[in-house]
Amino acid sequence: MVSIKDKVQQLMVLFLIAASQIGVGVLGFQSIINKYAGHDAWMSVIVAGVSVSVIIWLMYKMLQHDEKGDIVAIHQFTFGKWLGGLFSIIVTLYFLLMTVVVLRTYIEIIQVWMFPHLKVWAFLLLLLPLVYYTISDQFRTVVGVCFLGVVYPAFLIFVLVFPLQYADITHILPIMDHSFKEIIQSSSLAILDFMGFSTLLVFYPFIREAKQSQKYAQYGNLYSTLLYVTICLIAYVYYNQSELEEVIWATLGLWKIIEMPFMERFEYFGIATLFFSILPNVVLYMWSSVRMLNRTFGFEHKKVAAFLSAVLFIACVIFRGREGVNILNDVTGRIGLIFLFIYIPVLFVIHFIRRKVQKNGSS
């Protein structure tokens, strides 16, 4: 059981969910989701947000029935000690893979836009001690990082007003020019940017009166959805379709045209500021991986944190170049879709049946 002094207020769930969903994806998701739905792809972001809201509801329905209230307890109750432990290990690897995706993609952006000769291992040697310090301490430290990760970079949305002077509303007209199937296909690509909310399955026991905290989780998802829709619409009225097919980092392109008397290259400032959104992604995924191994095998938290930090270092160094990072993102996106929209609903059904059987058997 988690002691009351280690738990955080329900309101912090809003920042945990929002911080987990807002990350490196905001820099280039517009071109990715444009693949199927074209200028209607901004609607796919709304569909993705609504889908995530449903999965959050399913997660709470499962979590609120167990006093230990995390996915490890759900696995053990549903599948037993050994099979449940195996599933917990798989989920741990998934969280670790997501950490690699976020961190390696951010490093790739820094290499392309700021420092072409930056060594991956050198950047990791600077960053990983900070990550280790955050995840090896109390969960409150992780929450603090997530709070700052939402509040501090929030002003960046306002600077996107500058590109609107070059906007052309006809770029998104006519509305609903694509089929519902195409919008759904694009929404499956948008989901990758929302996947961080899955850490709710691990940090749920650290919330005070967690059963009543779902509204804040939904508010956090709503905030992320509105943010992505806003950024998407701004990009879609600025770029035409042919430009979106060519540009990789659409948001960075919007930042690039911003001119200020005291700052010549605003996109450099934007990338640096976005670090405060990337760090919450990394520490949440890493902390979740450490916590799950600690819960499954009883390993000491700090030793697991050190071991997984070393694994993260090696994994990030292995993936080289833009092609390697793209493959990593594509594979992880597919795994995430399977985990969130196939595995979680199936687990919910099995868990529900198992609980019904146990209740009828004890009555």
Taking residues 103-110, report their average pLDDT: 92
Instruction: Supply the pLDDT for residue 362.
Output: 64
Q: Would you report the helix, strand and coil content of the chain in percent, each value rounded to 5?
A: 85, 0, 15
Would you say residue 204 lies in a domain? yes
Q: How many domains does the chain have?
A: 1
Specify if 363 maps to a domain: no
231 in Cβ contact with 26 (< 8 Å): yes
Structure confidence at residue 135 (pLDDT): 94
Look at residue 97 and tell me if it is in a domain: yes
Are 162 and 238 a contacting pair, CB within 8 Å?
no
The model's pLDDT over 2-15, given as tens digits with 9 standing for 90+, comes to 888 889 999 999 99
- Residue at 249 is within a domain: yes
Residue 221 within any structural domain of the chain: yes
Q: Give the pLDDT confidence score for residue 314 in this predicted structure.
A: 94
End-to-end Cα, the chain, rounded Å: 27
State pLDDT tens for residues 291-317: 999 999 999 999 999 999 999 999 999
pLDDT at site 2: 82
The answer to whether the Cα torsion of 290, 294, 300, 304 is positive or negative is: negative
pLDDT at position 139 is: 93
Query: If DSSP codes are grouped into helix, strand and coil, which group holds residue 2?
Result: coil
CB 125 within 8 A of CB 119: no
Cβ count near 315 (within 10 Å)? 17
Helices (H), 169-248: 180-190, 200-203, 214-238, 241-246
| Model confidence pLDDT, tens digit, residues 186-209 | 998 888 888 889 999 999 999 998
pLDDT of residue 363: 56
* Structural domain range at position 312: 4-357
Which phi and psi angles does 260 have, rounded to 5°?
-130, 150
The DSSP annotation for 122-184 comes to HHHHHHHHHHHHHHHS-HHHHHHHHHHHHHGGGGGGGGGGGGGGG--GGGG-STT-S-HHHHH
Helix (H) or strand (E) holding 275: helix 275-297
Picking from 99, 103, 102, 142, the residue whose alpha carbon sits closest to that of residue 121 is: 103
pLDDT at 74: 93
128 in a structural domain: yes
Does the pLDDT at position 147 exceed 90?
Answer: yes
Residue 362 lies in a domain: no
Picking from 265, 271, 210, the residue whose alpha carbon sits closest to that of residue 70 is: 210
CATH number of the domain to which 245 belongs: 1.20.1740.10
